Amino acid sequence: MFHSSHYAGKDLVLSISPGEPWKKVFGPVFIYLNSASNGEDAPFLWEDAKMQMMAEVQSWPYSFPVSEDFQKSEERGNVCGRLLVKDRNISDDYILASGAYVGLAPPGDAGSWQTECKDYQFWTRADENGYFSIKSICTGDYNLYAWVPGFLGDYRFDAIVNIISGCDMDMGDLVYEPPRDGPTLWEIGIPDRSAAEFYIPDPDPKFMNNLYANHPDRFRQYGLWDRYADMYPDTDLVYTVGLSDYRKDWFFAQVVRRKDDGTHVGTTWQIKFKLDKVDRSCSYKLRVAIASATLAELQVRVNDEKARRPLFTSGLIGRDNSIARHGIHGLYRLYNVNIPGARVVEGENTIFLAQPRCTSPFQGLMYDYIRLEGPPFSGSSNEASGSFK
């Protein structure tokens, strides 16, 4: 399916206005069939197919299509550069954006490439030093986007990148300043847009898929959502900063709890932490990165679980279906919640993360990363910046 709401909902449904001209080339499509004389040669088939795949990658863009809408290699352009990260909490020096995902996509806001399906996108990964090269880009106007494993948020180079036939554009050093107000007080998880680092239980034995019995992708098993109720039959997850380990104590998805009568209830997770000092005149910042959401709502309360109005609510979000489809990530969302200093106290504090929507067993959230920052640093901007060289 080239266009469908099946995995991410209407956010990825193509929208064309009445009378709007639109066309897009899909393909060429190549199907490779190989064979082996006996079952013992089966591993060879897989290795042979991978070799053929690499050959096809090297041959792209193909020279044989005759459609004028499929640009030849010489009609396209190339872009290169280096991405660096500036995070005052980690280093005063620039940090190499090792393994960053860097791409060109139609102009839009930072992160808009996630739901862009009307036009073309061209992506690559930076090397260990942050250098990137994107080749054979169709002519047109783009923004350059990126995200860096290990850092929150999305980068966008503000200027339009105009690709013309035969161009080799060197964008020089680009600098991404990820969201940061103050020093990290505590953090849960790894900011990599996935929930894979969290605790994933063994499946119910009657649902075991033996193909993934000893596979690192433990989430690819049926029925894991029901294991939450087995582990937490009466009360919800409580995570204590400094004592708990997110790899063992943070369930990979905040799902609903199944009741004995077959209905479901929403869940409220707690994060308990201590503050030695509190500046009541300043705000603290809670950053919550969501790896996936399915017909869910995130509500945040601080030190008052019964507060009628949450400090923050996302409203209804997501149709990623990652829970039902044995996935571990969907569309990325980042919420930045201001916590007034008057809401926290010296000593024990609790943040309550509630997901109240509960009409289906597949509703819920997957967290990517959560961080609490202390009162802000003075001066300095958090805006992404960059310049052509």
**Does residue 120 fall inside a structural domain?**
yes
Residue-number span of the structural domain to which 42 is assigned: 26-59
Q: Within this chain, do residues 169 and 90 fall inside the same structural domain, yes or no? A: yes
CATH of the domain at 197: 2.60.120.260
The number of residues in the chain equals: 389
Domain end residue (candidates: 18, 36, 59): 59
164, 288: one domain: no
Residue 382 is assigned to a structural domain of this protein = no
103, 38: one domain: no
31-74 residue pLDDT tens: 999 998 776 677 889 899 999 999 999 999 999 999 999 999 99
What is the CB neighbour count within 10 angstroms for residue 125? Answer: 12
Query: What pLDDT, on a 0 to 100 scale, did the predictor assign at position 289?
Result: 99
231 lies in the same domain as 349: yes
Note the pLDDT of residue 1. Answer: 63
Q: For every one of its 389 residues, what pLDDT tens digit does the chain have, with 9 covering 90 and above?
A: 667 777 677 778 888 899 999 999 998 999 999 998 776 677 889 899 999 999 999 999 999 999 999 999 999 999 999 999 999 889 999 999 999 999 999 999 999 999 998 999 999 999 999 999 999 999 999 999 999 999 999 999 999 999 999 999 999 999 999 999 999 999 999 999 999 999 999 999 899 888 888 888 899 899 999 999 999 999 999 999 999 999 999 999 999 999 989 899 999 999 999 999 999 999 999 999 999 999 999 999 999 999 999 999 999 999 999 999 899 999 999 999 999 999 999 999 999 999 999 999 999 999 999 999 999 875 433 333 333 32
Does residue 65 lie in a domain region?
no
The pLDDT of residue 279: 92
Judge if 211 and 176 occupy the same domain: no
Q: How far is CA 65 from CA 1, 27, 81, 122, 179, in A?
A: 22, 10, 30, 19, 45
Cα 74–Cα 79–Cα 85 angle in degrees, nearest 5: 170
Q: DSSP string of 358-378?
A: -SSTT-EEEEEEEEEE-SPPS
Q: Is 209 found in the same domain as 113?
A: no
Q: Based on the fold, state whether residues 238 and 342 are members of the same structural domain.
A: yes
Q: What is the pTM of this model?
A: 0.91
One domain for residues 192 and 177: no
> What pLDDT, on the 0 to 100 scale, is given for residue 3?
72
- With CA atoms as reference, report the closest residue to 193 among 164, 238, 233, 153: 153
Residue 205 and residue 165 in one domain: no
Query: Residue 39: what pLDDT?
Result: 67
pLDDT given at position 319: 93
**248/365 same-domain check:** yes
User: Is residue 237, in this structure, part of any structural domain at all?
Assistant: yes
User: Of 165, 181, 197, which closes a domain?
Assistant: 181
Give domain status of residue 21, yes or no: no
Q: Structure tokens of 153? A: 């948020």
Q: Which two tokens stand for residue 290?
A: 């969501």
If asked whether residues 188 and 106 sit together in one domain, one would say no
The DSSP code sequence of 100-117 is: -EEEEESS-STTGGGG--
**CA gap 151, 315 in Å, rounded:** 25
Q: C-alpha angle with apex 113: 110 to 114, nearest 5 degrees?
A: 105
In our burial notation (b when 16+ CB lie closer than 10 A, e otherwise), range 84-107 reads bbbbeeeeeebbbbbebbbbbbee
Largest CA distance in the chain: 76
385 in any annotated domain: no
Domain count along the chain: 3
In a domain? residue 6: no
In a domain, residue 7? The reply is no
Q: For residue 110, what is the domain's CATH number?
A: 2.60.40.1120
- Dihedral pair phi/psi, residue 334, rounded to 5°: -125, 125
> DSSP alpha helices (H): ranges in the chain?
42-59, 224-231, 246-249
All residues at 6 or more sequence positions from 240 whose CB lies less than 8 Å from its CB, including other chains: 272, 273
Whether 155 and 201 map to the same domain: the answer is no
Q: Which of 124, 146, 181 is the last residue of a domain?
A: 181
Using the 8-state DSSP alphabet, how is residue 251 labeled? Answer: B
